[in-house]
C-alpha cells in the first residue's frame, strides 16, 4: 500500500514538488502559510489541511519545505501565534522529511523532539533549483536513519534524480552546506576571472569559450558565465537565499571553531550586492561587487 504524504510549504520549490508527487499517484495533504498558494495543489488533487498538525495527522510521511531554521521549527514544532505544529498531530511510527536548508544543529534538536514521539526525522535538503523541482530531477542529500530512508525512497524518487544517504541526522544539511560553500566560492572564481579578463581588454566570451572545458571549468562558469557577459542577472538562485545558506555554513563553522576564510569573504561581498540590488537578484550578480571595486563592467566596452 502506498504511503500517504503530507506536504508543508508550497513555495517556488514546494509547489512543483507536490505536482510531481500527485503525478506519481500519491495521496497528498498540503498546508501553506499563505493559503492562496494551496489552490493550485488542490485543483491538481491535493487535500488542503488547516494546520501543519492536521497535515501530519492525515499522513504516513510528512514533508516540510520552507525557508529558514525558525520556519522549520514553526511548522514542525509550533510556536506563539502559529497554528499547531506537525508534532502535535504526527502519528507514532511515521516519518518526517525536512527538505528545507537549515542548521544541522537545529535539525538534530528537532529530530530529538520527534524521536520522543517515535517519529523519525530525515533531513533531506535539495539542490537543482526551480527547474529541477519541476523536472523531478533534484539532488537530495539525506541525513538520518537508513531504514527510514529506504521506506520513503519511492516518495523521494518522485521528486528527485540523485538521492544520497549522507549519514546520521544533520548529515544531509552538512552536505548541503558543503554544496553551498563550493557553489559560492566557484562563483567568486568565475567573477574574478571575468573582471580580470575585462580589465585586461580581452573579450570575456572568448575567454569563457577557451577555458570552460578544462581544469578551470565549473557548473558556475558553464551556466552563469555568459549570462554575466550578457548582463542577465535574473535569478536562477537568489542572493538573499544564498546569503541565508552561507550564514548557516558560517554559523556551523563558528560553533566548530573552524575558519572558513573563502566563504566568509564571499558572504561579505554578497552583502554589498544585496544592498545594491536587493535579495532577489541572481547569484551571478556577485560579479557586481568586484566590478564596483575594479571600475569595469564585464561585457561592457
Residue with cell 528545507: 100
What SS3 string covers 117-153? CCCEEEECCEECHHHHHHHCCEEEEEECCHHHHHHHH
Min CB(276)–a copy of itself separation in Å: 7
DSSP assignment letter at 104? H
Where does this chain touch a copy of itself (CB under 8 A) — which range of 14-22, 59-67, 107-115, 290-298? 290-298
Active-site residue 176, yes or no? Answer: yes
Q: Which is nearer to a copy of itself, 57 or 246 (CB)?
A: 246
42-57: b (≥16 Cβ within 10 Å) or e? eeeebbbbebbbbbbb
Site for a copy of itself in 108-167 (CB under 8 A): 127-129, 139, 141, 162, 164-167
Across the strands, what pairs with 138?
Answer: 160
Size of the site for a copy of itself (CB under 8 A): 85
Instruction: Check binding of 169 to a copy of itself (CB under 8 A).
Output: no
Site for a copy of itself in 233-252 (CB under 8 A): 237, 243, 247, 249, 252
Query: Of 117, 176, 238, 244, which is the active-site residue?
Result: 176
Where does this chain touch a copy of itself (CB under 8 A) — which range of 60-68, 73-81, 147-155, 216-224? 216-224
> Cβ distance 31 to 55 under 8 Å?
yes
Q: Which of 199, 226, 227, 297 binds a copy of itself (CB under 8 A)?
A: 199
> Cβ distance 173 to 143 under 8 Å?
yes
Instruction: Check binding of 1 to a copy of itself (CB under 8 A).
Output: no
Task: Give the x-and-dash track for 252-281 against a copy of itself (CB under 8 A).
Answer: xxx-xxxxxxxxxx-xxx-xx-xxx-----
Instruction: Check binding of 226 to a copy of itself (CB under 8 A).
Output: no
> Cβ distance 253 to 266 under 8 Å?
no
Q: Which is nearer to a copy of itself, 92 or 261 (CB)?
A: 261
User: What is the C-alpha to C-alpha distance for residues 61 and 149, in angstroms, rounded to an integer?
Assistant: 11
Amino acid at each position: 500500500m502506498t504511503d500517504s504524504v503530507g506536504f508543508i510549504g508550497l513555495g517556488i520549490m514546494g509547489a512543483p514538488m507536490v505536482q510531481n508527487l500527485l503525478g506519481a499517484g500519491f495521496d497528498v495533504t498540503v498546508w501553506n502559510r499563505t493559503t492562496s498558494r494551496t489552490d493550485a495543489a488542490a485543483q491538481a488533487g491535493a487535500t488542503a489541511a488547516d494546520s501543519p498538525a492536521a497535515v501530519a495527522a492525515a499522513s504516513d510521511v510528512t514533508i516540510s519545505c520552507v525557508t529558514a531554521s525558525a520556519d522549520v521549527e514553526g511548522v514542525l514544532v509550533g510556536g506563539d501565534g502559529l497554528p499547531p505544529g506537525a508534532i502535535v498531530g504526527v502519528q507514532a511510527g511515521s516519518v518526517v522529511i525536512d527538505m528545507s536548508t537549515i542548521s544541522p544543529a537545529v535539525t538534530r534538536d528537532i529530530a530529538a523532539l520527534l524521536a520522543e514521539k517515535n517519529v523519525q526525522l530525515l533531513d533531506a535538503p535539495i539542490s537543482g533549483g526551480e527547474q529541477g523541482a519541476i523536472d523531478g530531477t533534484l539532488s537530495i542529500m539525506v541525513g538520518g536513519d537508513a531504514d527510514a530512508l529506504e521506506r520513503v525512497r519511492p516518495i523521494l524518487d518522485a521528486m528527485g534524480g540523485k538521492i544520497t544517504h549522507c549519514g546520521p541526522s544533520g548529515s544531509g544539511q552538512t552536505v548541503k552546506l558543503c554544496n553551498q560553500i563550493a557553489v559560492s566560492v566557484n562563483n567568486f572564481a568565475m567573477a574574478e576571472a571575468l573582471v580580470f579578463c575585462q580589465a585586461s581588454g580581452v573579450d570575456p566570451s572568448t575567454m569563457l569559450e577557451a577555458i570552460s572545458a578544462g581544469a578551470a571549468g565549473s557548473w558556475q562558469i558553464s551556466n552563469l558565465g555568459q549570462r554575466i557577459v550578457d548582463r542577465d542577472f535574473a535569478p536562477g538562485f537568489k542572493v538573499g537565499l544564498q546569503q541565508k545558506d552561507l550564514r548557516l555554513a558560517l554559523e556551523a563553522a563558528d560553533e566548530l571553531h573552524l575558519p572558513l576564510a573563502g566563504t566568509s569573504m564571499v558572504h561579505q561581498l554578497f552583502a554589498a550586492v544585496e544592498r545594491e540590488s536587493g535579495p532577489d537578484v541572481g547569484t551571478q550578480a556577485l560579479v557586481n561587487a568586484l566590478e564596483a571595486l575594479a571600475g569595469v563592467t564585464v561585457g561592457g566596452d
